[in-house]
Amino acid sequence: MNSTDCVKNNPRKRKCSVKVWAAALFLSLVLPVQGARVCAEEPNPSPDPVVIVIDPGHGGENLGGQYEEYTEKDMTIVVAKAMKEELEKYEGVTVYLTRESDEELSLSERCDYAKSVDADFLFCLHFNMSGEHTLFGAECWVSAFGEYYSRGYSFADIEIGMLKELGLYSRGIKTRLNDRGSDYYGIINHAVERGFPCVLIEHCHLDQENDQPFYDHDEKLKAFGRLDATAAAKYFRLRSETLGVDYSDYETVSVPVPSGVMRPDQSEPDVCMIDVTDQDMETGEVTVEVSAADYDSGMLYYTYSYDNGETFSELQRWPDEEADTFRFTMQVPPHIVPQIVVNAYNGYDLYTTSNMVSLPSMDYKTAEEIAAEQAQKEALESASADVADGRAEDGAASAENPEEQRRNAELKQINASETEEESLSFGYFLAVCGVCALLVLALVFSMILILRGRRRRRRRRRR
């Protein structure tokens, strides 16, 4: 039976309907996209099996996303078959695939098929890609209208919760409208036109290394399929003797049917301010406090820049979806004047740029500079070692041999004493020369005196 009838035929559901409508009105005014947990779904009272149709996205010429060795149409068929196989282990459910092989189908053909088997729900399986290969995480798209919104959101809440448990980052549960004001995604639009709810599951991004560990093997794709099946089993409160599980008491949440259109968030985050709380001049680490909020679709990512927005870091997860303020530490290179700026992204990938904080330059040494200095030092040491080796080869004593060290010391001592003796004998020679010169001078002087005396005597005799 159709899940819409389930609500109408359920007396307990009617009891809480006043509260549900009041909450729906509140939500449509205050929380355009996010749902609220109001009351649990009742188990399916119908003896008819639940009809689930699984749509493996793309096929044939329509490859879907393609990145490196990954092609979306091949991935979705693996997930879909695993989902069907797992769901068929539950009682009270009939499962169909819109395509079993690599064939091309239009979106309306897929929905016509689902309608022909009287689908209670259409699950569309996809993998995402982004233009810059920067986005990562899982998201679910649901109809923006009435019961299709609330049922879609109710299932997506379980699905996203399980994908988060698996380790993926949640990009949320969202609606999107086209220019005509109807659901943007054709498959959701066609499903709504034919009267059954539809959720488009973007399991993760097939072009992003953060998500790659979740799809890099067929077994992991099959795990996605089993996860999708379990989420559907929980939503429809199924039980399986084969698996030994019973979700008939599972606390499925119901999202109130909104009175108006659940419009997507089209505006950037309302506020984004930053403050630098710490700057370590020795290491270049700068701690930044970010305060940002988006009251429509919440906060999703942030990026940071130290050059006033010339370049930005990779997208970072918003640390806590409940918190508007948090701190993070970034590494700023030395010898520049850091100008810190943060971009804060909301659930629709729209961002607001923060105020800029300018900081004094830091002159610490980077790891590269320290490595370069170390390499230079090692090169110098190696060069001096080569010179020493050269001396050793020329016959110099090895410093490691004590006997040779002793001989060297003796040689040095002998050389020193020889030099001393040489300088002593030279002094002696000079002294002897001096004495000889004095003696010669004295001899010459006395000869002159004697000769003068004789001349005087001769003159006296002549007189």
Which residue, 200 or 274, has its beta carbon nearer to Zn ion?
Answer: 200
Q: What angle do CA 78, 82, 86 make, to 5 degrees?
A: 175
| Phi, psi (deg, nearest 5) at residue 14 | -65, -35
Which residue, 57 or 269, has its beta carbon nearer to Zn ion?
Answer: 57
Q: Looking at the DSSP assignment, which residues form a beta bridge with residue 351?
A: 345
Which residue, 36 or 97, has its beta carbon nearer to Zn ion?
Answer: 97
Q: Looking at the DSSP assignment, which residues form a beta bridge with residue 55?
A: 124
Residues that bind Zn ion (CB under 5 A): 57, 64, 126
Q: Looking at the DSSP assignment, which residues form a beta bridge with residue 345?
A: 301, 351
User: Smallest gap, in angstroms, from Cβ of residue 130 to Zn ion?
Assistant: 13
> Three-state DSSP class for 262?
coil
**CA atoms of 138 and 346, how far apart (whole Å):** 15
Which residue, 127 or 351, has its beta carbon nearer to Zn ion?
Answer: 127
- Per-residue tokens: 48: 């008819």
User: Smallest gap, in angstroms, from Cβ of residue 265 to Zn ion?
Assistant: 22
Spatial CA neighbour of 202 closest among 235, 170, 157: 170
Contact 269/300 with Cβ under 8 angstroms?
Answer: no
Contact 334/361 with Cβ under 8 angstroms?
Answer: yes
3-state secondary structure 108-129: HHHHHHHHHCCCCEEEEEEEEC
User: Smallest gap, in angstroms, from Cβ of residue 115 to Zn ion?
Assistant: 21
Which residue, 122 or 342, has its beta carbon nearer to Zn ion?
Answer: 122
Nearest-CB residue to Zn ion? 126
User: Smallest gap, in angstroms, from Cβ of residue 83 to Zn ion?
Assistant: 16
User: Smallest gap, in angstroms, from Cβ of residue 129 to Zn ion?
Assistant: 8
Which residue, 99 or 126, has its beta carbon nearer to Zn ion?
Answer: 126
**CA atoms of 201 and 187, how far apart (whole Å):** 12
Which residue, 88 or 349, has its beta carbon nearer to Zn ion?
Answer: 349
Which residue, 57 or 264, has its beta carbon nearer to Zn ion?
Answer: 57
User: Smallest gap, in angstroms, from Cβ of residue 296 to Zn ion?
Assistant: 25
**CA atoms of 82 and 49, how far apart (whole Å):** 20
User: Smallest gap, in angstroms, from Cβ of residue 39 to Zn ion?
Assistant: 34
Rg (CA), the chain: 46
DSSP string, 127-148: EE--TTS---SEEEE--SSHHH
| Phi, psi (deg, nearest 5) at residue 347 | -60, -15
Which residue, 57 or 256, has its beta carbon nearer to Zn ion?
Answer: 57
Contact 77/58 with Cβ under 8 angstroms?
Answer: no
Determine which helix (DSSP H) or strand (DSSP E) holds 342, and give its type and residue range.
strand 339-346
Contacts of residue 437, defined as CB under 8 A and 6 or more positions apart, other chains included, come to: none
Which residue, 73 or 115, has its beta carbon nearer to Zn ion?
Answer: 73
Spatial CA neighbour of 188 closest among 153, 230, 235: 153
User: Smallest gap, in angstroms, from Cβ of residue 274 to Zn ion?
Assistant: 36
For residue 307, give the DSSP letter: B
Which residue, 41 or 183, has its beta carbon nearer to Zn ion?
Answer: 183
DSSP string, 48-70: SPEEEEEEE--BTTB---EETTE
User: Smallest gap, in angstroms, from Cβ of residue 236 to Zn ion?
Assistant: 25
**What's the chain's length in residues?**
463
Which residue, 79 or 341, has its beta carbon nearer to Zn ion?
Answer: 79
Spatial CA neighbour of 177 closest among 112, 247, 266: 266
> Three-state DSSP class for 272?
strand
User: Smallest gap, in angstroms, from Cβ of residue 251 to Zn ion?
Assistant: 31
User: Smallest gap, in angstroms, from Cβ of residue 111 to Zn ion?
Assistant: 16
User: Smallest gap, in angstroms, from Cβ of residue 72 to Zn ion?
Assistant: 5
